[in-house]
A and B are shown apart, each in its own frame.
Chain A
Amino acid sequence: MNIRITYNWLLDYLDTDATPYEMQKYLSLCGPSIETVEKVGSDYVFDIEITSNRIDTASVIGVAQEAQAILPMFGKKAKIKLNPLTDFKFDQIKAGSGFDLRVDIKNPNLVSRFTSLIFDQVQIGDSPKFIQDRLRLAGVKVINNVVDISNYLMITLGQPIHMFDYDKIANHHMIVRESKKGEKLVTLDEKEITLPGGDIVIEDGSGKLIDLCGIMGGFNSAISSKTKRVLLFVQTYNKSKIRKTTMTTGQRTIAATFFEKGLDEQRVVATTVNATQLLEKYCQGKIVSKIQDIYPTPTKLKTINVQYELIDKLIGVKINRKTINNILTNLGFIVEIDPKNEIIWVTIPSFRTNDINIPEDIVEEVARVYGYQNIPSVLQPPAYVNQPKGMEDLFVFQNRIKIFLKHLGLNEVINYSMISRGMIEDSGLKIEDHLRLSNSISEDIEYLRTSLLPSLTKNIKENQGKKDILKLFEIGKVYLPVGNKDLCSLPQEIYRLGIATNTDYYDLKGIIEAIYKELNINVGAIQESSFPEIIEKDNMFLFEIDFQSLIDNCQLVPTYKPLHPYAIIKLDKTFEIHPQTTYEVIRQKASLSKLLQKVQVVTLYQNKLTLRFYYSSPDRNITEDEAKIELAKL
């Protein structure tokens, strides 16, 4: 998530001599990334990326805390001058009387802290100009003074607030409970939400739902221009519950993006006090109740032991102990050093409870503020790791065949691993043999392919007219489901080589034979069934083979045949070919002769096939007559 705050807003809390642009540069290197700085009037707007573990920095005070630790490392002054988190306490609020709110929390696991306070004589109107200006720069809609204050404090302190119209809560009674499946409520944006069940909701004394907690308030209890009494409502919720509800209902509000990450219960105090100050000052609100603060299991601060040595080891250089202690202190940690100066006991501030759990987390804090740019750069010492032969072969041969086919004039294509239902059907394959994506974003990519040919066919068709001669190939995986669906096993992922051309049968056959020759595969010696056929379809010629079978049958260097000085007799003969007498039949018959070296096609005209036969013997000169006798056997 990103938040927008301004430079002047930050200066309310931070005393610094750093310019907005220095802040951008230094904080981005060591802390939250300030993606842009935009000058607007006399102020500067920072657009800051907040990582999901650092929701505490999604606020002005959170950024100030980071700046206090980081800027001094670059020689800049930075000191928090007003810290609501430590400076604001409940005893600064003068409780009133006359009104109250009855609260039943059905399950303590839903709300970790529940705080509320009632104000009377509230004057609904416009909020002061500085609040309006800052909210607009932060990209938040300005509504009225009460609502604006809640949004203003959410950005200042990082704690969302809700304001109810107190008089719209029937019997001034709230029941906090889990929703039942199918319950409905209309949220502030006037959307009717049907609840999946198990969501945190509030029911009022009349049995109607008035709040979808942590996400959005109910329309029926909202602040309006007629509101007189306001219920200030500051809570922290069970983050997993909020997360589940916001995902299943699709109500991704800003408040939800805060609550789903888990908020600091301590911050509720500062927020309540600060909100009270602003409601009194800008809305003329009068406190007419006691502070209701339900906080059954206060968070205990945790302490992590960290060895200085671990910090050195993981960063790779020794960092001055005092520097380490200062960095952590400026970030809000409390550091105690053991007497031997080997271990530090680091107490984690409440706002980092969710984020800091193990010593490595402390190492990160030190390393980033120390500055990654100050850490040297050295390659690790070499180590030998054996690459499994199967994996090595796969990559070596794939690359070899890719380059070979490129030199033969073919173009390599990489297609999506997912194809459409139509492509499967057009290729004569069965839908049920394919794995389907349950959340595919397009019908074009709904099924995992079990063959490379549907995509290659599509490639040829889509390229017609762009180039006369098309010869494409792809080496990629197909995904073959294993067993029946209930077996729960991953598909077989098999590399295939696919080739498609719009030329002719012999052209593609020549390419395939060239691959066999390149890999010294003796096709004659291997069962024919392991070599697939060429498919002819709509003037396209297609071929697909398991890549592994090429590797398995390949011979790195062909078998050497000794050279000999004896004469070779070449004889030509013309045959009439037909289904019983094919080239292959003639070739096999000719191969029965021990003198035959090779057969070559001279011409093929209609059914007249002229072949040239090379006869010789490795240990003597043969006569033309001997060769003729061999040839006559055909």
Chain B
Amino acid sequence: MDNKKYEAEINNSKSLVQLNELEIKYLGRNGEINKLLSAIKDIPNEEKREYGQKVNLLKTSIVRSIEMMKKKLSSKKSEVFFDKTMPGKAYPKGSLHIVSFAIEEITNVFEKIGFIRVSYPEVDWEYGAFESLNMPANHPARDDVETSFIDTPAHKTLGKMVLTPHTSNGQNREMKRVGKPPIRMINISKCYRPNWDATHTPMFHQFEGLCVDKDISIVNLKGTLDYFAEKYFGKGTKTRLRPHHFQFTEPSFEVDISCNVCGGKGTVRNAYMRSLQKCKVCKSGWLELGGTGMVHPNVLKEGGIDSKKYSGWAFGFGIERVIMMKYGLDDIRNYYSGDIRFLEQF
């Protein structure tokens, strides 16, 4: 019953398999401990008690040694390096089109001040695209709005069928839909013009705001533009109105927003030369956003609204343009090319 001999054997085992064999050899049904225990019948009675205690002690000691050795051997196994810097399980990641993303952003900004998004035709009569907007046939102002026509007979009173060159055809339709102010409309839609080059695509998106109510003034238009500029482009963004001319508004303006790159200063300080340089993004501190104005009385009348009682403002801005201004995505040709390398980035 040499304790030392067992321990040496246990401690010298090199693997769990070897240790298992020892465990069976010592503690198994026909193992050495059981052999020792069955030998008790040959022990004189007065020594039996002491003998039994000794065998049990030995058994306990062997069990403990095997357990310890087991832990030792298996801990060796868990020393295999666990690399937490490995990437996690891969989940699918698709993408939204950047235009869809911007449409949602813009819709939410206007929804908060009570503007409802509407949906009107993209294929309309000349009446909707022009006449209802105070642009009679043969008016030079139509030059500014190049238009794609549909090859189908003209309507007797409404003119030719066109792809809407702007979202403003929604104005007359919304006026007629509600019948009576208030109007708080945001019309977001595809628009089309026969123009395809580095900075134009034949299809693009606009969002059109229209607000008609009692006592709507330039003050309110400015308030709305400032609200939009801050919410969409970020706090501190300023707007500026400049006179312009559109047939469907009077007065008419162009809106600029302050450049977020140079903070509206028009110049940036060069880090190396410590000199002032012209801002590459805006050149003058301001970026042109689009056209706006107070709804022309003729447009209100055409929509069945009493221009003596009500006034309103309207604007129409390009979605691609605001995306470009906000996110710097300036290669517009990629937008509608379907190139997966462009799409999957968003």
Contact = CB atoms under 8 A, between A and B. Distances in A.
B83 interface: no
A31 B253 CA distance: 10
B218 A315 contact: yes
A375 B253 CA distance: 13
A28 B288 CA distance: 13
Contact of B219 (A51, A317, A391, A448): A317
A470 B150 CA distance: 34
Interface stretch (B64-72, B73-81, B113-121, B268-276): B113-121
B195 interface: yes
A383 B122 contact: no
A402 B340 CA distance: 16
A410 B346 CA distance: 12
Given A380-B213, A412-B100, A52 B94 contact: no
B43 interface: no
Interface in B78-97: 92-97
A384 B114 contact: yes
A486 B153 contact: yes
A51 B118 contact: no
Contacts of A375: 218-219, 222
A360 B250 contact: yes
Contacts of B211: 380
B195 to A, nearest CB: 7
Interface string B157-197: 00001010000000000000010001111000010101110
Given A377-B219, A490-B125, A493-B123, A31 B243 contact: yes
A493 B194 contact: no
B143 interface: yes
A135 B216 CA distance: 46
Contacts of B93: 409
Interface residues of B, number: 87
Nearest to B114: A382
A598 interface: no
Contacts of B124: 490
Contacts of A563: none
A409 B95 CA distance: 7
Interface in B189-223: 190, 192, 194-196, 201-203, 211, 213, 215-220, 222-223
A367 B251 contact: yes
Most B C-beta atoms less than 10 A away, residue of A358, A375, A413: A413
A66 B186 CA distance: 35
Contacts, number: 242
A489 to B, nearest CB: 9
B138 interface: yes
Contacts of B156: 488
A253 interface: no
A326 B323 CA distance: 42
A410 B182 contact: no
B343 A411 contact: yes
B254 to A, nearest CB: 8
A416 interface: yes
A406 B156 CA distance: 46
A376 B222 contact: yes
Contact of A28 (B216, B227, B242, B335): B242
A414 B123 contact: no
B336 A52 contact: no
Contacts of B216: 380
A438 B154 CA distance: 12
B19 interface: no
Contacts of A51: 244-245
A367 B338 contact: no
A385 B117 contact: no
Given A360-B294, A375-B222, A408 B92 contact: yes
Interface string A364-381: 100110001101111111
Contacts of B225: 377
Interface of B: 92-97, 99-100, 104, 107, 113-114, 116-119, 121-125, 138, 140-141, 143-144, 148-156, 161, 163, 178, 182-185, 190, 192, 194-196, 201-203, 211, 213, 215-220, 222-227, 240-245, 250-254, 294, 296-297, 311, 335-336, 338-341, 343-344
28 contacts: A33-B242, A243-B138, A260-B140, A316-B219, A367-B251, A373-B240, A375-B218, A377-B225, A379-B223, A380-B216, A384-B114, A384-B182, A385-B116, A391-B117, A402-B96, A409-B93, A412-B97, A413-B343, A416-B202, A416-B336, A418-B203, A437-B148, A438-B151, A455-B338, A458-B338, A463-B338, A471-B94, A490-B124
Nearest first, the 9 closest Cβ-Cβ pairs linking A and B are A409-B92, A316-B219, A316-B217, A364-B251, A51-B245, A383-B182, A387-B116, A377-B222, A372-B241
Given A360-B297, A380-B223, 11 more contacts: A33-B244, A51-B245, A368-B243, A377-B225, A383-B184, A391-B117, A412-B343, A418-B202, A463-B340, A472-B343, A488-B153
